[in-house]
Structure 1
Amino acid sequence: MENLQGWLQQASDTALGWLSSPAALSQFALLILAYFAARLLAARIAPVVEHSLTPKPEATHIIARLRRFALQFLPLLLPLLAYALTAVGEGLTRATFGSGEVIAFGKRIFLLLAALEFVRKVLPPGFLKLMGRYILLPVAALYALGILDEVTDYLSAAQVNLGNIQFTALALIRGLIAGSLLFWFGSWSNRQSTGYLKSQPALRPATRELAIKASEVAIFGAAFLLLMSIMGIDLTAVAVLGGALGVGIGLGLQQIAANFVSGIILLLEGQTTVGDYVELDDGSAGTILRMTARACIIETIDGRWVVVPNDNFITSRVVNYSDAGKAHRYSANFSVSYDTDINRVPALIETAVAALPFILSEPDGPSCELNAFGESSVDFEVEYWVNGIEDLTDDYRSKVLFAIWNALKDAGIQMPYPHRVVELRNAPGA
């Protein structure tokens, strides 16, 4: 409070001194002249700059994107021109009269106005606008008031203790700001690199996922090391942390490390990747939606998501239906009565099933085989090939069974139901 009162008293004395000084009043006149000259120049320059930088609406190349990006800074033209003209006026004033505190104060005010326009009209909504509003503008205001150095010295003298590590308040604030910006930029860079890698059709899905993970580790690792350097932390402390992490992995994090290494192996081998339909030894089956450093997320046929650790894909048997090829064989069972001429059935059913549009003739056409002689019926099985693994939902199988039913009905062949013969012995009157 004493420091604040001192600053307010100093500001009051300075303002009164300026109002009573002819030299200060002349500098006020120069500030007003610089502002109106900047408005006149901005009114003439802005349309020319906007016309020359505006690309055609259909243009999407890199030059057009850069020109659209540069146009976003057009609102800064007026305060920056006023700042430049005031800087020229300050140089002339100091060379002529040996003083220029008033015009220097006006120059800093124009810089504050430029920062205000930058936050309001240039920065996109979100994290950057938030940082501009609560970091950039307060710093610019302190600079405009001429007390930024005093505040900086005060924060540099304040000590913050975190265990055995000591920081100045200024270093801690600088680290928080730098860390926020670095990890925001790292997140933005990771999204850009991920989008670029996913748009490369020449890369195999497994190679693409591996490249995405490698770029993510590299980006955030570099951000972390740069932050340590900015905060003045000795990187030997990071080596100690790495040693402690290694001991932790050896003692209690074996499973996490195993899953991480297994994930890298899966991405390198490419035997299972995003989009594959897999079935594990424990009966879990579904389509791989995402592969992370620790686990794979599988979506089952009924829409459930199952998180499967990467280690399961390495240490257990995995059936990859998608990797086996495009064509898959399925079968459907049916029965006919014992009164049927069973020699007619194979050709009849094979013809009916082969007529379905999704049935393949390669690697083999439909094949109807005698399966067994049951208690009440003669049992058959028809095998057929289709593209893809869609029949796991029984969509194709249902259509095949309809075709079998219709073919048998049209041929007058009955599909039996169980019969039971009851024999009564020693019955009265027998």
Structure 2
Amino acid sequence: MAEPIGTTREGSLEAPTRHPLDWLNPEFWERASLDAELERVFNICHGCRRCVSLCHAFPTLFDLIDESESMEIDGVKKSDYAKVTEQCYLCDLCYLTKCPYVPPHPWNVDFPHLMLRAKAVDFREHGAPMSARILSNTRAVGKFASIPVVVQTINAANRNKTARKLLEKTLDVDAQARVPTYHTPTARKRLRELDGAGGAKPAGRTRGKVAIFVTCYGDHADPGVVEDLAAVLKHNAMPVRLVERESCCGMPKLELGDLETVLKYKERNVPMLADMAREGWDFTAAIPSCVLMFKQELPLMFPDDEDVALVRDRFFDPFEYLAERHKAGLLVTDFKQSLGKIAWQVPCHQRVQKIGPKTAEILQLVPDTQITTIERCSGHDGTYGVKHKTYALSRKLAKPVETRVAQAEATHFTSDCPMAGNHIAHGLNGTPAAEHPLSLLRKAYGI
């Protein structure tokens, strides 16, 4: 039994520090060691309960405790711990916005890393259903779905009720969930003429030469946003090109607990990115989760890899990059069109990058533009918002955001995460539709 919750606050006023994921330590994979740590941390969470409103993992934990005979963590079966783990989608918000016991506090609570460890141990011991393996293989799914002729068939099937019921039975994709519309040609084919020629002044941490990591989703499901990103950067007189080659960033496999595949993707992506960084290139991507993977998750998995650290230091959120340029007086502000009222949902994986509201800072430069900021999870989070088992829960998590968007009576609704934006807009019956902030910025520029 873990020690009872006390009143000590030692270390809680210091800035949080994140320890590397100790996944190469044999003890990381030991079930008994994992269960002991789960019991310890769950007991601390039971005595605090500040995170109850963040996601469904914490209500699940507290219900298990409250419904047990002892009404303490020792009354919960260890076999039921997995019910908590499966509700965590690794958003990291509990660590960075709620928990008072994160390191350097001596209780050393890192709930997301503990959930990741539990997912990884479960994946190694039991594997994952074929449906989960397919859904997390986003690059392969996107490549197949974007083949000419095939793309029309898949998009039509995704709009057909009978086909969606079949998809629900075979791949566990809820028949009501909004799924991507696939495109051909892909973003990489549309932008293959980008050559990165020219030069721009360095500014702050930016070097003024940007290589776009297209991402699986951007390449196959939202190429227009990648085009918007390239157009905005070019309008700001910066050399722009695509990353030479790319595999999936690894976030879908990380959320599954498949750390070995994350390692394979890292070995394909990082050496090439590191070479480009040494040639003077900075990197950005239009999907916050992919940016976070290179800025945080891979560095925490491979803390001693110099190439990983180099790529981390050169990877930026798009609006973080533009804000650095603006601070140096180098951002173009020749806006041709106001945007009116914008309701902006801040994605979890952008919030935990610790960069501040850079999207709002840039969009507010557009004359006659007002922004309502909504710092609340969309409930989509990877495959959580499409899987039949969790879709209804994801809709409940999205409801407060949908209410705020409706109350804002905005001209535009936007989210830096296209998947989160579409999930919220789906709950609003598409009124207003979701637009990416990069698309809005391009519209304001009139380019």
TM-score bracket for the superposition, by shorter chain length: under 0.3
Flag the structure with larger Rg.
Answer: 1
Higher relative contact order (CA 8 A, sep 6+): 2
> Quick check: which one's helix share is greater?
1
TM-score after normalising by structure 2: 0.20
> Quick check: which one's strand share is greater?
1
TM-score after normalising by structure 1: 0.21
